[in-house]
Structure 1
Amino acid sequence: MPSFTLPRTARITTTHKVATAVLVAAGATTALAVTAQPSTAQATASHASVAVKPVSANGMPAPVQVKSDAPKVAHPAIEAVAAQVKAQDAPKKAHTAKQAANRSTERKAVHKAEPKRYANNLDGWIRQSLDIMKAKGIPGTYEGLHRNIMRESSGNPNAVNDWDINAINGIPSKGLLQVIQPTFDRFHVAGTADNLTDPVANITAAANYAADRYGSIDNVNSAY
């Protein structure tokens, strides 16, 4: 078979193409390798990030708390609604407070206007007399009054002594504590009835007389 020799120019062109392809492949591999490896700065940042992660006591990563210094700003629409509600409630609250104050004043007025009530019997008369005596600074106790009343009149406000020296002199002793008229007139306590036989007036006048002469009705244990 006859041999053919390629022209010189054709051989150079083929060799050049092969070399060029090899160089291109090599360049692509190098570029891929360079791209795959991180830069020095990236590697340093990655290592630094791992190094500063906080660790809890059990060795697990601690939860990261994100703090925000941004001020909390209410929505203008919400603030407007809140202000409107507050403005609407203000008159109601003022009205309620005024009503409560009025009720309190009314209760105080009613309480002050109502007088203390006493039973219309010996117990009630003694208790009413004791309150008057306390207000006037006249000493005496329930026991002292009751004891002397039972001895003098047995609790009868209309009792009259018509046999002792006072009766002989025309000024008989009368009432629960058997008081004569001159003594009653002298030691009558203001605020009580002017009637000698009125139970409360008789008791307080007699207690006032006993306080002046004996220190207290409690110190009286016989005719006085």
Structure 2
Amino acid sequence: MLAAAQHRTPRRNRIIRTLVAAGTGAAVLALPLIGATAASAATPAAGSATSTASTTLAGYPNNLDGWIRESLAIMAEKKIPGSYNGIYRNIIRESSGNPRAINLWDSNAAKGIPSKGLLQVIDPTFNAYHVAGTSFDIYDPVANITAACNYAAARYGSMDNVHGAY
């Protein structure tokens, strides 16, 4: 096609389209912030069961980062020591971040009480160190982290002091 016959968009139209696209992008980014500051938490219907890990009412994402941060908030309330880095390091070593992980081959499994969840806790330890306000489901990420950190605090001073199987 000859240069003289090509369609040319006027410069002004390109600038307007760019500004509109930028404004739309900014609005999309701002919406979650506006919603988060204006939203109020809904209360679950009577009789409905909610898992601490799946809820977003507390403002924590349903992922490893959110589970650790929510656990740390509960731990702070209950005065259970531990840091994000200490918890994260142990989770990655124990379960690679899989809240449904289960160990079916170690000595605990041989005794019929396999280690479960993010921090590979056995049922008796989970029950003994369960933290009030968290789920009684050992696979619930927040409950698993918080109970394991409560156990580590009692046994080692903090999850931060755990550098191997515990």
Q: TM-score range by the shorter chain?
A: 0.5 to 0.7
Confirm or deny that 1:165 pairs with 2:111: no
Partner of 1:36: none
Q: Counterpart of 1:128 in structure 2: which amino acid?
A: E
1:179 corresponds, among 92, 107, 121, to 121
Partner of 2:156: 214
Residue ranges of structure 2 left out of the alignment (5+ in a row): 1-36, 42-56
- The structure having more radius of gyration, on CA atoms, is 1
1:200 corresponds, among 142, 148, 153, to 142
Confirm or deny that 1:141 pairs with 2:86: no
Q: Counterpart of 2:109 in structure 1: which amino acid?
A: A
1:109-120 matched pairs, under 5 angstroms: 114=41, 116-120=58-62
Q: Secondary structure of the equivalent of 2:151?
A: helix
Residue ranges of structure 1 left out of the alignment (5+ in a row): 1-109
Provide the rounded CA distance (Å) in 2 between the counterparts of 1:182 and 1:161: 15
Q: Secondary structure of the equivalent of 1:158?
A: coil
Provide the rounded CA distance (Å) in 1 between the counterparts of 2:103 and 2:65: 23
Provide the rounded CA distance (Å) in 2 between the counterparts of 1:182 and 1:196: 10
Provide the rounded CA distance (Å) in 2 between the counterparts of 1:208 and 1:154: 20
Structure 1 stretches of 4+ with a deviation exceeding 4 A read: none
Q: Summarize deviations over 1:155-211 as a string: whole Å, max 9, x none.
A: 000000000000000000000000000000000000000001100000000000000
Partner of 1:152: 94
Identical aligned pairs, as a percentage? 67
Partner of 1:59: none
1:123 corresponds, among 45, 65, 74, to 65
Give TM-score, length-normalised by structure 2.
Answer: 0.67
Q: Secondary structure of the equivalent of 1:212?
A: helix
Q: Counterpart of 1:203 in structure 2: which amino acid?
A: I
Q: Counterpart of 2:74 in structure 1: which amino acid?
A: I
Give TM-score, length-normalised by structure 1.
Answer: 0.50
Provide the rounded CA distance (Å) in 2 between the counterparts of 1:161 and 1:190: 26
The size of the alignment, in residue pairs, is 115
Q: Counterpart of 2:163 in structure 1: which amino acid?
A: N
Pairwise CA distance, 1:117: 1.0
Provide the rounded CA distance (Å) in 1 between the counterparts of 2:144 and 2:161: 18
User: CA RMSD, aligned part only?
Assistant: 1.6
Provide the rounded CA distance (Å) in 1 between the counterparts of 2:139 and 2:85: 21
Higher relative contact order (CA 8 A, sep 6+): 2
1:47-126 matched pairs, under 5 angstroms: 114=41, 116-126=58-68
